[in-house]
Amino acid sequence: MFVSVVLFAALANPAPADTGAVLYAKWCSSCHGADGRGVSKTMTRLEVPAADLANCRISSAEPEEQWTGIVRDGGEAYGLSLDMPSFGDGASADQITWVVRYLKSLCTDPAWPPGELNFPRAVYSEKAFPENEVVLVAEGREQSLIYERRIGPRFQLEGVVRTVLDGGDVFGGITAAAKYNLWHSLPRLMIASVGLELTPALGRQAEWEIEPFLSFGANPGGVTPVQAEVLATIEDGFAGATVNFGAGREIGRFVPMLEASWAIPRVGPQELTLAPQLWVQLSRLGHVAASIGIEVPVAGPSRDARLVAFVLWDFADGALTAGW
Ligand code: HEC
């Protein structure tokens, strides 16, 4: 009832000047507040309080395309609240773009990397985008549980617990990591970050290991995410380097990718591994995704091919049960 009244009022009175701000005031401010920061629940009777759209943390997290889709098709199409109406029938595509750009402009801090640079997670190449995520990874008989947490616009902390199911000790070890987004550019669709991983001598890890890394992502053309990482391993001195590189193609909810990992130890043979993989967006909201692939050693010590897979949940985007 409330929604239809708002919609009727909005669509029956076309904006005098079609600027994003004017359209916003007419169509959206009753629920999202004059400043985009929401309206007290008692005034709107919304079941789910409307999000604070002026908050950089929220507005930078998703690409413009996602917000355009939510405004065009309504909250329900993305597994969000039915209270978020769809404007696709009454508003033109341009008007929706203007109003979304106006909303995005309410975040004025350029330090937050935009969601357009949050490329699908690859198996090897550490993502440059800072994340709020829980990831479960399986590589052959090894499993890892990863917890990633953003701090402020550019920083991310990470904790990993590893297990191995091969008949030996189950506890594989732990790793702590930090990542910092050095640079990003929306017009160039590029992002670069640095980080450090620290693995103590615990479980199956015989020696302390320190691994500084540099990670890079780009998306030429907007549909071919390319990601790369260079990592050095320090274990009682410099032990070697690893170069990971992958490229994919976005096809709707699917992103087939091909990744290569080249291990260059200081002593011993080098190793090249290829991993064709398929990333899939599982939830309509896009906060739950999975990937499955196969790791094929192509050069270096002979090893069997093994299955690699992960499932991830972006917990800042929505509850695990929401967004389907
Ligand atoms: C009738 C109330 C109502 C109106 C009018 C309304 N919204 Fe919403 N909107 C909501 C609610 C409630 C949510 C939260 C949905 C959820 O989290 O499940 C929402 C969510 C959103 C989101 C998603 C935020 C996120 O977390 O990613 C965007 C973007 C948005 N609204 C934009 C708009 C724009 C732009 C307009 C005007 C063209 C508008 N809304 C009008 C109620 C409304």
Higher pLDDT: 46 or 70? It is 70
Per the listing, tokens 């004017």 go with 22
Q: Which of 14-18, 165-169, 281-285 shows the lowest per-residue confidence on average (mean pLDDT)?
A: 14-18
Can you give the pTM of this predicted structure? 0.90
Kindly indicate the confidence band of residue 40, based on its pLDDT and cuts at 50, 70 and 90: confident
Q: How many angstroms is it from 294 CA to the middle of ligand 1?
A: 40
| CATH class of segment(s) 115-314 | mainly beta
Give yes or no for a contact between 206 and 101, defined as CB atoms under 8 angstroms apart. no
Output the ligand 1 site: residues, CB below 6 A.
Answer: 3, 6, 27-28, 30-32, 46, 48, 50-51, 53, 58, 62, 67, 70-71, 75, 80-81, 83-85, 87, 99, 103
Q: How many angstroms is it from 261 CA to the middle of ligand 1?
A: 42
Residue nearest to atom 10 of ligand 1 (CA): 84
- Could you say which architecture CATH assigns to the domain 2-104? Orthogonal Bundle (1.10)
Q: According to the model, what pLDDT value does residue 18 have? A: 57
Residue nearest to atom 12 of ligand 1 (CA): 50
Q: In whole angstroms, give the CA distance from residue 257 to residue 275.
A: 8
Mutate to test the pocket of ligand 1, among 26, 32, 89, 324 (most ligand atoms within 8 A of CB): 32
Mutate to test the pocket of ligand 1, among 6, 84, 102, 317 (most ligand atoms within 8 A of CB): 84
Q: According to the model, what pLDDT value does residue 49 have? A: 80
DSSP label at 151?
A: E
Give yes or no for a contact between 163 and 171, defined as CB atoms under 8 angstroms apart. yes
Is the alpha carbon torsion for 29, 33, 36, 41 positive or negative?
negative
For residue 27, give the ligand 1 atom closest to its CA.
37
Kindly indicate the confidence band of residue 37, based on its pLDDT and cuts at 50, 70 and 90: confident
Q: In whole angstroms, give the CA distance from residue 60 to residue 78.
A: 18
Q: Answer whether residue 7 shows pLDDT above 60.
A: no
* Strands 171-185 and 271-281, bridge-based pairing: unpaired
Instruction: Please state, as a whole number, how many other Cβ atoms lie within 10 Å of the Cβ of residue 204.
Output: 15
For residue 87, give the ligand 1 atom closest to its CA.
38
Q: Which of 157, 127, 133, 132 is nearest to 145 (CA)?
A: 133
For residue 100, give the ligand 1 atom closest to its CA.
35
Whether 115-314 and 2-104 are alike in CATH topology: the answer is: no
Residue nearest to atom 40 of ligand 1 (CA): 28
List, for residues 97-153, the tens digit of each pLDDT value: 999 999 999 999 999 999 999 999 999 999 999 999 999 999 999 999 999 999 999
Q: In whole angstroms, give the CA distance from residue 143 to residue 148.
A: 16
Per-domain boundaries in the chain? 2-104, 115-314
Q: What percent of the chain has pLDDT above 70? A: 94
Q: Which of 261, 268, 269 is nearest to 308 (CA)?
A: 261
End-to-end CA distance of the chain: 24
Q: According to the model, what pLDDT value does residue 12 have? A: 45
